[in-house]
Amino acid sequence: MEENVQIGEFDLIDWIRRQEPDRAVDSWTRVGIGDDCAILGVGEGTGAGADLLVTTDMLMDGRHFRLDTDGPEAVGYKAMAVNLSDIAAMAGIPRAAVVAVALPRSKAVDIARGLHAGMRELADRMSVDLVGGDTNAWDGPLVITITVLGQGTVRGPVRRSGARPGDVILVTGPLGGSLAAGRHLRPEPRIHEALALHRAADIHAMIDLSDGLSSDLPHILDESGGLGAILDASSIPIHPDAHEQARRDGASAFDHALNDGEDFELCLTVAPDIAAKLLAYPPEPARLYRIGEIVEAPGLLVRTPDGRLAPLAKGGFDHLRGRSA
């Protein structure tokens, strides 16, 4: 739900967030727009563990996938995966999903069956019930919207907003180049990793990396009251696909690791002593990489191997790239 495309300077969902009136007295809303999922308190007196998580994502042919080359199963899988990744980002347990589709009329049945197979594979593995939907056919391109409902654990959902100066920043896997080998179509939502980490440690803040580290980490910094971060250039885990992508387009693999989207790894912040413990004994099945630390001063900096600090632009790394090129 975090993939809010900026249209020029305008973002509908962010704008709605600012427009939102005061809630009704009996409102369910604990957290509305502005995190990976909304958090609703369903009913009253339900106690801990009854936080309802809600997230929705729409995928369109030509933008998030190419139906003719990727095929409908990959689309169904990805549509489910990106939603589950949002549940993972709050350390939630996914429970149920509803799906709405606009099917190209000419091959509607084949596409529908393929979508279902792809959704089902992941839903079965993650114990998600497909509980409803809306089927439409038209002469336009394939569009699919999935909404996933999940449950906060007894420790409560993990927000983007809890980072503190001194926190260590961790990611759950190597980054970059997801487009090179089609990995963007088969993301593995880090549900089990998030739950294991949440059981093992007090996670201060977490987000899933859908738009790229340099775009998503600032959400944690902004929501946590305007903090900053220093990333260690030599510590960023670079995916082999980022090297492949770099060979193709001439940018550096490091740039791809910082800026590419659709890795769907988790980025989290924890206190330094907790980080040391987690890195020494990562709770199965999580893998963990230390990439930097949270600091008081706003902004995103990169510490180069020779110890210099250089600013990292959101969505780009032009300054350092200029020097290191």
* Adjacency order of strands within the sheet including 228-232: 205-208, 266-270, 168-171, 289-295, 228-232, 299-303, 309-311
Is there binding between residue 154 and its own copies (CB under 8 A)? no
Q: Using an 8 Å Cβ cutoff, are 174 and 239 in contact?
A: yes
Strands 129-138, 228-232: pairing is: unpaired
Stretch that binds its own copies, among 44-52, 182-190, 217-225, 290-298 (CB under 8 A): 44-52
Q: Which of 50, 200, 295, 301 binds its own copies (CB under 8 A)?
A: 50
The three-class DSSP label of residue 55 is: strand
**Site map 276..305 versus its own copies, x via CB under 8 A:** ------------------------------
Residues 227-246, interacting with its own copies (CB under 8 A): none
Nearest to 182 by CA among 238, 253, 241: 241
Q: Measured from the CB atom, is 20 or 249 closer to its own copies?
A: 20
Q: Measured from the CB atom, is 52 or 257 closer to its own copies?
A: 52
Q: Which of 78, 84, 145, 168 binds its own copies (CB under 8 A)?
A: 145
Residues 189-208, interacting with its own copies (CB under 8 A): none
CB of 255 to its own copies, least distance (A): 25
Q: What end-to-end distance do the CA atoms of the chain give, in Å?
A: 36
CB of 34 to its own copies, least distance (A): 9
Is there binding between residue 62 and its own copies (CB under 8 A)? yes
Tally of CB atoms within 10 A around 80? 29
Q: Using an 8 Å Cβ cutoff, are 298 and 226 in contact?
A: yes
Is there binding between residue 273 and its own copies (CB under 8 A)? no
C-alpha to C-alpha distance for 252 and 159, rounded to whole angstroms: 32
Residues 63-122, interacting with its own copies (CB under 8 A): 63, 95-96, 98-103, 105, 108-109, 112-113, 115-116, 120
Q: Which of 66, 80, 89, 147 binds its own copies (CB under 8 A)?
A: 147
CB of 132 to its own copies, least distance (A): 4
Which residue reads 């899988």 in tokens?
77
Q: Give the ranges where the chain is alpha helix by DSSP (H).
A: 12-19, 67-70, 72-89, 108-125, 191-200, 213-223, 240-249, 253-259, 272-280, 318-324
Stretch that binds its own copies, among 46-54, 223-231, 243-251, 296-304 (CB under 8 A): 46-54
Q: Using an 8 Å Cβ cutoff, are 149 and 123 in contact?
A: no
**Site map 13..42 versus its own copies, x via CB under 8 A:** x-xx--xxx-xx-xxxx-xxx---xx-x-x
Tally of CB atoms within 10 A around 25? 5
Stretch that binds its own copies, among 49-57, 183-191, 269-277, 295-303 (CB under 8 A): 49-57
Q: Measured from the CB atom, is 42 or 276 closer to its own copies?
A: 42
Handedness of CA 232, 234, 237, 240 (dihedral sign): positive
Q: Measured from the CB atom, is 133 or 165 closer to its own copies?
A: 133
Contacts with its own copies by CB under 8 A: the residue count is 78
Is there binding between residue 315 and its own copies (CB under 8 A)? no
* Residues of the chain by 3-state class (helix, strand, coil), percent to 5: 35, 25, 40
Q: Measured from the CB atom, is 96 or 310 closer to its own copies?
A: 96
